[in-house]
Amino acid sequence: MTLRQVLFLSAVLGLTILLGSLGYVWVEGWSFFDALYMTVITLTTVGYGEVRPLTPVGRAYTMVLVLSGVGVMLYVVGVLARVVVEGEIREVLGKRKLQKQVQRLKDHYIICGYGRIGEIIVRQLAQAGVPLVVVENNPEAIARLEAAGFPYVAGDATREEVLLEAGIERAKGLVAVVRSDAGNVYIVLTARSLNPRLYIVARGEEPGSRQKLLRAGADRVESPYEMGGTKMAQSILRPTVVTFMELAMHQGVEWSMEEIAIGPHSPLVGVPLKDTGIRRELNLILVAIKRADGELLFNPTPDTALLAGDTVIAVGMRQNLEALERIAG
């Protein structure tokens, strides 16, 4: 039921009581308060008795009021009560459904904070099909989460029980993007203690916060202002490069730049690049290889062999990149 319908029924109920009261004022000459009291006890079928002795005309009016007004009264009150009860039941069922949805998540990402930056992160991860849950305690942000349909946990992300409710022990990564650097430091400390294997990205803005976040356990620290300023400067210095990178990261184009992990059982393990068919058969450009120990090989030579645990950065058509993902295992 819409808000307009609820307001309409409430107006009907109020008008019925008002007209009933004015009827007693006109028929019996009572004061408005006595007439209102008589109308209310009549319509609610309480039956306390007459306020004052009624004339035959007043009794006839009371019978008309009972026959016409009690039905309206019971209908309106019943509908409004049903709206309240159904709303409470829907809220309880919605919370249970949300809890079950979060409990089923595995290898997901926990996004702490749903401000302007957090909302962009959530939207992009959701578009990529990455499982996620948001931790937020701001009522306005929670309302936006409910409207968008993203799973969330309402609470303070610095508290252990809240992160445990978000499934941090089963999570793959965490992003700390609350408004304060101190809050992000506490989140990183708590998250790292609960899951040492977690990949953590944190937001840091104040001078010195980067080192604090890294010492707290963050794997990567980013400053939105620094990233934005750098990108604007590069848009002036290297506009074509920036355009290319934006297109490579965009979901709507047919070609893209992706990072693909080489699995231990992939047929590519131990094979030199010139024999893998990545360039010749898949028509992909291999930009770099990241070894399992963190070593980066830019523009690798044709004789460079792929190893299990490597991550290759390739550019090309999306269907060819997907084919490489399947081969890489």
Please tell me the distance from the alpha carbon of residue 55 to that of residue 37, in angstroms, as a whole number.
Answer: 17
Tokens representing 121 are 């992160």
Assign 39 a pLDDT band (cuts: 50, 70, 90).
Answer: confident
Please tell me the distance from the alpha carbon of residue 117 to that of residue 119, in angstroms, as a whole number.
Answer: 5
Assign 103 a pLDDT band (cuts: 50, 70, 90).
Answer: confident
β strands within 26-131, DSSP E: 109-112
Task: State yes or no: pLDDT of 85 exceeds 70.
Answer: no
Task: State yes or no: pLDDT of 162 exceeds 90.
Answer: yes
Write the DSSP symbol of residue 194: H
Closest CA to 20 of 69, 54, 53, 58: 69
Task: State yes or no: pLDDT of 8 exceeds 90.
Answer: no
Q: What is the pTM of this model?
A: 0.62
Question: Do strands 173-176 and 199-203 pair parallel, antiparallel, or not at all (unpaired)?
Answer: parallel
Tokens representing 190 are 């708590």
Percent with pLDDT over 90 in the chain:
44
